[in-house]
Chains A and B, each alone.
Chain A
């Protein structure tokens, strides 16, 4: 899968699967997911993780469940790509 496809897939999840009332074109890969950005709450965050695992067929390891991974959509995409490479 191309780099941009992973990012696009995550943007689709945020825009369509998550209950956020956000449009796809309004999403920027550098927008912070928490303070000063999308202000995701924990319920939405957990849904985001579940949707990502389902869509990309991966299991996010406990050691990547941190604020660094979920800084913005780009950092999430990076971790997803790493998992896809390892868990393929």
Chain B
């Protein structure tokens, strides 16, 4: 059923082709403020090489790239690919860090830090001014990152608690995986790609930025998730292909009054609402679901040639070289004839090589290409091979494209005065994703008695906005199972009323 994986050119060959080939070399990456054509990259890479050498530091170790959604960020990423450097790809937290208190994270095994701060990229006269290369002060050579064929790209996996954890996957595998996306969507050099999704996360990097390079397209990385900025950039850049989040698709539907057909629009990151899918196509063009992860890259995607019925209801079918299966679960999942449902597992040659985990020291936990990878999602596989993603199988959901672990939310809610225990469940849908309801057991002695409003307000100081429960319910008793554990199914029913 699955076809063999595709083989893409390596980074240096790809960048040489883009810089040299007529018809491609004038294509460019832009953010509206700065534009760099592929032809210009050759000279800019040489200057970055020079800066890198001048910075000093130990050669042959990974570098950390703190990237931002900008032409400068894209340029730094292109240089890393062209020079086959091991890289830990991270978001630049400069401004966000002050607001959210998320500390800057540079793994100790990185010998250099390349920073493309968003604020600096906006203020710079030229993109090169926004790229800073420095030696990493806290550098410690780690055996855990040595001895790989590489070059590798490390991504921090989502998750709001736990130990720092990075997936490791070679540049080549990312490129091979991206080539399967080019094939599925029929991307050509004449397409103009709008990429508001971060090029330093798996979706934007693996399914938008790299496929764009492999096809030789021009790309706009200037808008980010802000729908107003998106509309401004759309007007200026005139894209015919867009990579959106379900939230952005939803915003298109809510705020836009006129038709603006795209050749195709890809969406990923969350399960999209059926109403959004159905309302979107007549106004903005074919909407294609993509399913993937930091560990597996792009896994399954719809194609513009699929019948609308398949497109609207599924995440397409597996990309070249990818096998998908489902494993039985205890949940009673409804299936039609020929359908299989359960926990989705994935096997392919172009997946991650394993995890780097920090628990005191960095250690590498390898993953074999022949192993089945548990995606953590529930899915249905139809008789014709189309895949329908049903949602997370564990105690977590995606909201605003980010993982929300129920345990973290429960901990925050339980800090409110007068609450003994909180259980968070998903019930219904909101624009951010599944609707979060915190069902709270109150302390009968508490004076004054806690109110849902006060509890919810206290969450704003403890949790990022996307993790604040949409509703708080206070109960006198939590339903339990015979084992004494809380009965989440009963609580879900309670939350839905």
Contact of B411 with A by CB under 8 A: no
In the complex, A46 has a CB within 8 A of chain B: yes
A residues within 8 A CB of B250? 46
In the complex, whether A78 has a CB less than 8 A from a CB of chain B is: no
CB neighbors of B among A53-81 (8 A):
59-62, 65-67, 69-70
* Chain B residues, CB < 8 A from A67: 226, 228-229, 232
- In the bound complex, do residue B465 and residue A41 qualify as a contact, i.e. CB atoms below 8 Å apart? yes
A34 to B226, Cβ gap below 8 A?
A: yes
A-B pairs, top 8 by smallest CB distance, nearest first, are A46-B251, A43-B431, A21-B460, A46-B254, A49-B255, A67-B228, A62-B258, A42-B227
**A66, B258: Cα distance in complex, Å:** 15
Interface status of A39 (Cβ within 8 A of chain B): yes
Q: Please give the number of chain A residues whose Cβ is less than 8 angstroms from any Cβ of chain B in the complex.
A: 21
Contact call A62/B227, Cβ cutoff below 8 A: no
Contacts of B225 in A (CB 8 A): 41-42
Contact A45 to B232, CB < 8 A, known contacts A21-B460, A62-B257: no
A30 at the interface (CB under 8 A from B): no
* Identity of the chain A residue whose Cβ is nearest the Cβ of B229 in the assembled complex: A67
Does A50 touch B at the CB level, under 8 Å? yes
Which chain B residues in 207-245 approach chain A with CB under 8 Å? Answer: 225-229, 231-232
Most buried by B among A39, A47, A66: A66
Contact among A42, A49, A65 with B247 in the assembled complex (CB-CB below 8 Å): A42
Question: Residues 19-42 of chain A: 1 if any B CB is under 8 Å from the residue's CB, otherwise 0?
Answer: 001000000000000110001011
Cα A66 to Cα B225 with chains together (Å): 13
- Contact across chains for B251 and A42 when beta carbons are under 8 A apart: yes
Residue pairs across A and B with Cβ atoms less than 8 A apart, 5 shown, are: A46-B431, A50-B255, A61-B257, A67-B229, A67-B232
Which residues of B lie under 8 Å from residue A34 when comparing CB positions?
226
Residues of A within 8 A of B (CB): 21, 34-35, 39, 41-43, 45-47, 49-50, 59-62, 65-67, 69-70
How far, in Å, is B303 (CB) from chain A's closest CB?
Answer: 28
A4 to chain B, nearest CB (A): 26
For chain B, the count of residues having a C-beta within 8 Å of the partner chain is 24
> B-side interface residues toward A, CB under 8 Å?
95, 99, 225-229, 231-232, 247-248, 250-251, 254-258, 400, 431-432, 457, 460, 465
Is the pair B228, A66 in contact by a Cβ cutoff of 8 Å? yes
Known: A43-B431, A46-B255, A62-B257. 4 other contacts (CB 8 A): A42-B226, A46-B254, A67-B226, A67-B232
Interface-central residue, A39, A43, A60, by most chain B CB under 10 Å: A43
Are B254 and A50 neighbours in the complex by a CB distance under 8 Å?
yes
CB distance from A60 to the nearest CB of B (A): 7
B256 lies within 8 A of A43 (CB): no
Q: Are B228 and A65 in contact (CB under 8 A)?
A: yes
Find out whether the CB atom of A21 lies under 8 angstroms from the CB atom of B457: yes
B232 surroundings in chain A (CB, below 8 A) = 66-67
Is A39 touching B400 in the complex (CB atoms < 8 A)? Answer: no
Indicate if the CB atoms of A59 and B257 lie closer than 8 Å: yes
Measured CB to CB, the closest approach of chain A to B50, in angstroms, equals: 34
**B226 CB, nearest partner CB in chain A, Å:** 6
A46 vs B252: C-alpha distance when bound (angstroms): 9
A39 to B231, CA, bound (A): 19
For the complex formed, measure the closest distance between the CB of A52 and the CB atoms of chain B, giving whole angstroms: 11
Q: Which residues of A contact B251 (CB under 8 A)?
A: 42, 45-46
Q: Which residues of A contact B457 (CB under 8 A)?
A: 21
